Amino acid sequence: MDITGKLVFRDPKLIIKDVAIKGVPVRVYQPKAPQSLRRGIIHIHGGATVAGSIGITLIGYSLSPEHSYPLQFQQCLDVTVHLLEHAEDYEVDPARVIVCGDSFGGLLTAVTCQVVGQRRDLPKPRAQILLYPLLQMVKFNLPSYLQNGRTPILFKRQVLRFGLQYLKRDISITDLILEGAHVSEDMKMKYKKWLSVENIPEEFRKREAKVVTPAPPFRDIYEGFELAASPKLSPLFAEDEVIRQLPETLILTCQYDVLRDEGILYKKRLEENGVPVSWCHLVDGFHAALFLVNNVFFHFPCTKTGMDHVVNFIRGL
């Protein structure tokens, strides 16, 4: 069992150690076979900060609702900085460190890489991998939200409820935020260029969905939600000079996922700023599909396709 009392998969070819870095539980997997400095992967799990554990991830950051923003981000940043600074202590080449995250972990990964990319005292991550990432908390009526709002395993309302828990806000205002009442007119104009549906390929806009008319801004709500559009909660809105410093990126999106369009929009932002991007879109995929890669009961072709793409991307670095 691990330090949380959960059963842990053991591989005879691996050394698995539970350590604490900056007070954060971290599991380290290292091959037993001796070799020169190798690639290293820092994985930040998803679960909307309310699920997931060290049993399946590298960084065991604190979970909501007991813990809230900005603790989770700060923990992921602290661990990433430490591992970049001390990569060789883990037999990892500091120039070949990859930061990876899925779902909400994709948001934490994107933000961590943006912050680390601005520092001149650290080795740069070799790449970032964003698996069906959450990348903005401003617009909840993108085509993927309208088309897949009730598609398992992640519903539109769940995204917002988890976000409100992360921010320690009252979930009773969910409906108003889904209608866009938390966004001022100035904010809508400022981020319109990055959230425009015109930036999403036509093929993703074809499936019919009920169009939602945005609600007028509700001052009592939006005056407390300026943070929602900040890069630390909506990395899609980071300035161009920040985006330009990002490493090579793999973005994986799924057709039947409310977060699909955020990944597509971020891909466009990266490409426009000269960041090399590999894109894997699973036409039969759904949110968290890769989580089932070793599941003995459920098998989906998209799971293997997506995982093969991720593995090949890593091998090519």
Question: Could you give the residue numbers annotated as active site?
Answer: 103, 257, 287
Per the CB < 8 A criterion, the answer to whether 129 and 250 are in contact is yes
- CB-CB neighbours of 78 under 10 Å: 17
Q: Angle 260-272/185-195 helices, nearest 10 degrees?
A: 80
Report phi then psi at 98, rounded to 5: -115, 135
As a whole number of angstroms, the distance between CA 144 and CA 156 comes to 10
Residues 214, 217, 221, CA angle at the centre, nearest 5°?
120
SS3 96: strand
Per the CB < 8 A criterion, the answer to whether 101 and 107 are in contact is yes
Per the CB < 8 A criterion, the answer to whether 2 and 27 are in contact is yes
Report the run of H or E that residue 148 belongs to, with start and end: helix 143-148
202-211 long-range contacts (CB < 8 A, ≥24 apart) are 204/143, 204/144, 204/260, 204/261, 204/264, 205/143, 207/143, 207/147, 209/143, 209/146, 209/147, 210/146, 211/141, 211/146
Bridge-based pairing of strands 24-31 and 14-21 is antiparallel
